[in-house]
Amino acid sequence: MDIRRDFADAVGHTPLIRLQSASRLTGCEILAKCEFANPGGSIKDRTALGLLLDAEKTGALRPGGTIVEGTAGNTGIGLALLGASRGYRTIITMPSTQSKEKIDALRVTGAEIHLVPAVPYANPAHYAHVARRMTEELNAKNPGSAWFANQFDNVANRDFHEATTGPEIFVQTGGRVDGFVCSTGTGGTLAGVGRYLKANKPGVTIALADPAGSALASYVHTGELKAEGNSITEGIGSTRVTANFKDAPIDLAWSIGDDESLPLLHALLAEEGLNVGGSSGVNLAGAIRLARALGKGHTIVTLLADAGTRYQAKIFNPEFLRAKNLPVPVWLDRAFPAASD
């Protein structure tokens, strides 16, 4: 029998799936790690577990303690579910601009949620700073009772992806991976997977797919953090270099607009039955760009980070898309006809 012990033991070992249309289009094998298959529904289950295991090992998080984190949603969901399975209380701060579906998914975990305005990281009201202050206040009342997960600058995030996600990809492809590409928020996945693959296959190409409005592609190209445009995609992109991102071994980087990523995302559902979130569309666009940069016959791996049901009111809402001057596929109009129809 193959039985997992608990929630934590069910994290990872996700399937790798061939993306048919992208593979035909490019003449490459475009493969995607199905991270929506994690028990909490996203790749951030891995991040949450890596941070939590490190905190338990170092004693930063004590039995019966409180987990505090600032998150756009998915890391909070992972932490809250892991916390529930291990006897911890969880407090989450997150921007009020995140999707209602993701906020609701976090609420039902039993976590204590504090919605705060969406402001730049330099602003003291940024959700990460609010979480840090809350941790300090809890520890002032009861020393050692709370732990700030700090997913952006706690390199246990990167190290866990280097120890798990990277090796899984290498084994699943039989070592025949020529390129890896994904978007990034904290930097943990891209840096961790990149470090592992580079160490085991030095010729592999590591690429960043960055949503419009993020400054990271600019940073890779010029060393300057310059953001242009905007995106409806949640949970990825940044205007600062995190500790996790700092040493990521990136060879190529692209800024990808919603007008490029969303049609790919919609087609992935309509043609291949894969209902995934906005970051997965950016990742797929990056995989196609990387395949074209390397040429036919290569094997490219990317990520399907979470499910599209966490963003339905945005990326699968014709009225919302039109309001943003973004393309709406015919099948989506049929599924959600206008109120006047």
The reported pLDDT for the residue numbered 142 is: 96
Residue 340 has pLDDT above 50, yes or no: no
The reported pLDDT for the residue numbered 2 is: 85
The reported pLDDT for the residue numbered 335 is: 84
Rounded Cα gap, residues 44 and 187, in angstroms? 12
Q: What is the mean pLDDT of residues 82-109?
A: 92
Rounded Cα gap, residues 314 and 333, in angstroms? 14
Q: Which residues contact 215 (CB under 8 A, 6 or more apart)?
A: 225, 226, 227, 237, 238, 239, 240
The reported pLDDT for the residue numbered 72 is: 79
Q: Which three-class secondary structure state does DSSP give residue 129? A: helix
**Percentage of residues of the chain with pLDDT beyond 70:** 99
Residue 337 has pLDDT above 50, yes or no: yes
Rounded Cα gap, residues 310 and 323, in angstroms? 20
pLDDT mean across residues, the chain: 95
The reported pLDDT for the residue numbered 301 is: 98
The reported pLDDT for the residue numbered 341 is: 44
The reported pLDDT for the residue numbered 328 is: 95
Q: Which residue has the tokens 């996700």?
A: 14
pLDDT digits (tens, 9 = 90+) for 258-313: 999 999 999 999 999 999 999 999 999 999 999 999 999 999 999 999 999 999 99
User: What is this structure's pTM?
Assistant: 0.95
Q: Which residues contact 20 (CB under 8 A, 6 or more apart)?
A: 271, 272
Query: Is residue 44 flagged as an active site residue?
Result: yes
Residue 100 has pLDDT above 70, yes or no: yes
Q: What is the mean pLDDT of residues 202-223?
A: 97
Q: Which three-class secondary structure state does DSSP give residue 43? A: coil
pLDDT digits (tens, 9 = 90+) for 128-170: 999 999 999 999 999 999 999 999 999 999 999 999 999 999 9
145-175 as b/e: b if 16+ CB within 10 A: bbbbbbbbebbbbbbbbbebbbbbbbebbee
pLDDT digits (tens, 9 = 90+) for 2-21: 899 999 999 999 999 999 99
Q: Which residue has the tokens 């709406």?
A: 328
Give me the catalytic one of 44, 198, 246, 314. 44
The reported pLDDT for the residue numbered 115 is: 94
User: 29-33, 70-74, 85-89, 174-178 — which is least confidently predicted?
Assistant: 70-74
Q: What is the mean pLDDT of residues 108-135?
A: 93
